[in-house]
Amino acid sequence: MMLSIPDVLTPEQVAQCRRIMDVADWVDGNVTSGHQSALAKNNMQLPEDSPAARQLGGLVLDALEKTPLFISAALPLKVFPPLFNRYGGGQSFGMHVDNAIRAMRDADFRIRTDLSCTLFLAGPDEYDGGELVVEDTYGTHSVKLPAGHMVLYPSTSLHRVTPVTRGARIASFFWLQSMVRDDGERLLLFQLDRSIQQLAAEKGHADANVVHLTGIYHNLLRRWADS
């Protein structure tokens, strides 16, 4: 499942992120690359253990906790601390697949990467190029969202970032381990949850069909989820 999630950050939060980034020190993006990615990656990144990255990461994680669409679609178990990158002057990231396991440096924390996330922090009018191109079983998808919006997609997907030919593409990127490993099962739960919410808005949460379908949702989640 690939999903665009609007308004994860407000315009004010985006502006706050940009102010912090403007005075931060950036390094070569390959500091977090695996072998395959290092051959294709050309960008800049905030060091993951820098005060700026930690402050920004906390802001993003707080916002995600308040985004019901993200929770419903991702069913997050563990979220890797958000990272931050910048592309400009022809920089790009060639076709690759994300590592199956991500571990924090010098910490006892690792996740299985079920879902990849890109949270855009620069608007489409600020740069040319820089599209996130994702290939999956349904074809090729090109994504370039407004600042504050995020795209969620399976980490198993091949993907790339096209060269930025004007301005700078600035974003947060991270991975998560879902409570439900299988993408198909996760999609069914998401579709069921959305239908329940729509029916509840029309009939009320005490409606017999809403209660019945909610029970089915939780019993499926109980069957499929790791915790």
The per-type count for the chain, helices as H runs and strands as E runs, is 6, 16
Burial annotation 148-179 (CB, 10 A radius, 16+ → b, else e): bbbbbbbbebebbbbbbeebbbbbbbbbbbbb
**pLDDT of 95-104, one tens digit each?**
999 999 999 8
Architecture of the domain spanning 183-224:
Irregular (4.10)
Q: What is the pTM of this model?
A: 0.94
Architecture of the domain spanning 3-178:
Sandwich (2.60)
**pLDDT of 53-91, one tens digit each?**
999 999 999 999 999 999 999 999 999 999 999 999 999
Q: What percent of the chain has pLDDT over 90?
A: 90
Return the pLDDT at 219. Answer: 98
AA identity, residue 117? C
DSSP one-letter code for 200: H
pLDDT band at 35 (very low <50, low <70, confident <90, very high): low
Average of pLDDT values for 156-165?
A: 97
**pLDDT of 168-216, one tens digit each?**
999 999 999 999 999 999 999 999 999 999 999 999 999 999 999 999 9
Return the pLDDT at 135. Answer: 95
- The helix/strand/coil state of 172 is strand
Q: Which of 95, 77, 39, 72 is nearest to 181 (CA)?
A: 77
pLDDT band at 37 (very low <50, low <70, confident <90, very high): low
Are the folds of 3-178 and 183-224 the same? Answer: no
Domain ranges of the chain: 3-178, 183-224
- C-alpha dist (Å) from residue 138 to 158, 186, 191: 12, 17, 18
Average of pLDDT values for 155-170?
A: 97
- C-alpha dist (Å) from residue 99 to 2, 96, 115, 121, 185: 18, 9, 11, 24, 22
d(CA 11, CA 8): 10
